[in-house]
Structure 1
């Protein structure tokens, strides 16, 4: 599903209001929301809170529609009715009931609350007079449906502006916005339903995707009756030091589970011995130096390479990473293979292209993009992708995937349980396994990998460790394929 910014939504509205008056669309929004509210809940009693702007006008239209259908409606305005103007005033004048201006009025137990106080444009902290109202609504056990946005949530960041209403459902007008799925916005919005009101989009591409299988499933590499291990692709993983050998083994396990034909771990003799015991399904090649790595590239046709999990921070890893980026078509960099470029980001950027995938967490991101602020992670990830000309996977609760051509995808099916050691190693293995000439392009592979990783973790629940993610990959694949 597409997700847009507040700025884009304002442009869409402005362009449409030139052809049809804005009140026409306010009526469509109110009517559409009233229908959706009745689908969600068959309650006969409604309490609608209307704010000072057009969101309040939407509330008046909703009230009018519900009254006409025979429902009992109370409307409380958070501002004096003499303050309304424009479309909101037109909507107010259609009502034939008394508007209550006392925000301290009792909330009855059997009333469904409709939040029409503030919309998507809120970008200031909530005033004290609303603080107590929001607390009362949140403390009540009444079901809450927010129109466009839960009041108090920033439309772009999803952050509460000090205080916000927690909704059970949110009716997003025209499209989801970033604030519905980012940060705390996802929790505050509850279940989001989109209400279309006939707005035409004449704005050039300026949106993101919410990560889901419909984006990439058709491109997902499925096993065919004619498939064999060589047609399924080969992934080579650099194993690093024996003390951190578990990281590369986790990557190898997850890659093979997702369906790559073979996984080869490159490492010293101790790692090879350990991998032989823990994960005999993987192939192993002894590689203890840069010179050996260079010879391996001459001997084998390697087109897909993962380096970083447990690799170590030293000159050998720096040299191997640089050489691999030069010689191998598809490369995924994770962990240490990113951190070795701290204070040398320009050297890294010269070696990158659209076939390379970088999977940093916040700290690693700052090491290679020190001048990009993470205050707005969506903009930061997109800018980093364009600067580096590569796919960026900025890991976090809302992992963001960005491509140099401007495509951006936000992952929303995550779980806090993924904050555990080894989780990132599993993710890099999943992503790497999906990339290839006859498989997925790096951007779609990254989107698919992030979603699968999150879904497998969610399926397990509490007490998750990295190995549990791998165990749950097959059930998730069975569900979607």
Structure 2
């Protein structure tokens, strides 16, 4: 699983590598620009574009512009037709960028960017965007916005490090215009992909992302010794620890754990049954539904392997937990709101077992989230969608909505504050642990993942996490694996799926992952 980084993190890594050595900085720029140019030529060849392409390289005033001048020079030396366009005053450039600019001037001219607006781009032309890269913190001005707005949709854009205007940490588009058709065909980013490539607007505007190593290895090693681990990206390939899904050696059902799913009253049992069936399908040795008295009297599950027990009041749960073989609990799906749910949650957390809290178990604490946080521990996973997240962490949710505040930072902060593993559901699902380990599971890479936005889908996910925790897999790994498999089932089922379809598709998803 490749690491990805924020703007601040890559800047620290670069600083540790360069340490104010101008020659090192210059060598890195030469390497970055050369590799980017070679990748553009490779893309050009694979795309079978006409050999008469005209490359328009847009260079900004910072180091991204320096990369652009190297790209222009390398393309020119490879026999390509190149025009170079410059934004801003070159007198403020770094010494490395100024050197690359002067080397380009030995081969070709530079035109001011405002003249580019008058160029009529033809089919076969290619735009190389080296204007701002990761350093942009303010919106694109009107001039730049108009330039990008006027690039025809059929003209490929090669973004260098990140598409200009995309915040490389939050993924937000910083522009005075909406620019609906402004997207990169290919993004060539250096050493590490950035958070902003996968979040918000960045996830739909970055095109194909290719990471180019440029020799920041020492900086990365030094960074890792003094800082929290970088976020890891989970996409189409299974997580590195997917082998934990296999059942090896242990032969008895209790060797694979016993999950307890608490259910609500009559009419609300469906959510708990979905969670329980999913826990069974993902390998929990036994699963019991804890039902209130009225539901117990009428219970008739389609899945006969699900056991039931009375859980009418918190004392019933306390008594049932005297059985130490019950090692994973799920509370929330269809459980109901209010004081009784809070009491059940308190009992579950006091037991010290693996606990998944979802839906009603979270919302029941919206008036006093701190009373919940005081009880949470590292064997607890909370699985809110954004609305539930906002009720527990209103300050973080408001910052995400009103400020340029990245979801990864918000979930990391929520995990540290609450003391639990936090899974924030969404198109890009974020999983963070209190110890600083964070994963971004990119739903964009799974076909039909948008069909998971259906009633009961979250209950299935909660049950999948619970079932894996019952198998004594580390809670953080359980959460990431379950999220991945949940998305995998959407790819297998296709459009029109409903939550009832997902549990029976889990075995097929596991088989594909293990094979």
TM over 0.5: yes
| One of 83, 86, 110 as aligned partner of 1:74 | 83
Rounded to whole Å, the distance in 1 between the matches of 2:136 and 2:450 is 28
Give the 3-state SS of the residue equivalent to 2:170 in structure 1: coil
Q: Deviations over 1:5-42 (max 9, x none)?
A: 11111112222222443221110100111122222221
Higher mean C-alpha deviation, range 287-296 or range 234-243:
287-296
Rounded to whole Å, the distance in 1 between the matches of 2:377 and 2:294 is 34
Is residue 59 from structure 1 mapped to residue 68 from structure 2 by the alignment?
yes
Aligned residues: 479
Aligned residues of 2:250 and 2:256 also touching (Cα < 8 A): no
Rounded to whole Å, the distance in 2 between the matches of 1:53 and 1:226 is 59
Residue 388 of structure 1 corresponds to 418
Is residue 479 from structure 1 mapped to residue 490 from structure 2 by the alignment?
no
| One of 208, 231, 247 as aligned partner of 1:191 | 208
Rounded to whole Å, the distance in 2 between the matches of 1:277 and 1:245 is 9
Give the 3-state SS of the residue equivalent to 1:279 in structure 2: coil
* Deviation for aligned residue 1:461: 3.7
Rounded to whole Å, the distance in 2 between the matches of 1:259 and 1:65 is 55
Higher mean C-alpha deviation, range 76-85 or range 304-313:
76-85
Give the 3-state SS of the residue equivalent to 1:473 in structure 2: helix
Q: 1:132 to 1:460 in 2, by over 3 A?
A: farther
| One of 429, 447, 455 as aligned partner of 2:488 | 455
Residue 98 of structure 1 corresponds to 109
Rounded to whole Å, the distance in 1 between the matches of 2:183 and 2:84 is 19
Rounded to whole Å, the distance in 2 between the matches of 1:150 and 1:316 is 51
Rounded to whole Å, the distance in 2 between the matches of 1:167 and 1:61 is 20
Q: How does 1:67-216 map to 2 (within 5 A)?
A: 67-79=76-88, 86-95=95-104, 96-101=107-112, 102-104=115-117, 105-137=119-151, 139-162=152-175, 163=177, 165-199=182-216, 200-201=218-219, 202-203=222-223, 204-206=226-228, 207-212=230-235, 215-216=239-240
Is residue 17 from structure 1 mapped to residue 51 from structure 2 by the alignment?
no
Is residue 346 from structure 1 mapped to residue 370 from structure 2 by the alignment?
yes
* Contiguous gaps of at least 5 residues in structure 2: none
Give the 3-state SS of the residue equivalent to 2:184 in structure 1: coil
Aligned residues of 1:302 and 1:328 also touching (Cα < 8 A): no
Rounded to whole Å, the distance in 2 between the matches of 1:358 and 1:216 is 23
* Deviation for aligned residue 1:474: 2.8
Rounded to whole Å, the distance in 1 between the matches of 2:296 and 2:43 is 58
Q: TM-score, normalised by structure 2?
A: 0.87
Aligned residues of 2:257 and 2:327 also touching (Cα < 8 A): no
Higher mean C-alpha deviation, range 67-76 or range 212-221:
212-221
When the two chains are superposed, the root-mean-square deviation of aligned CA atoms in Å is 2.2
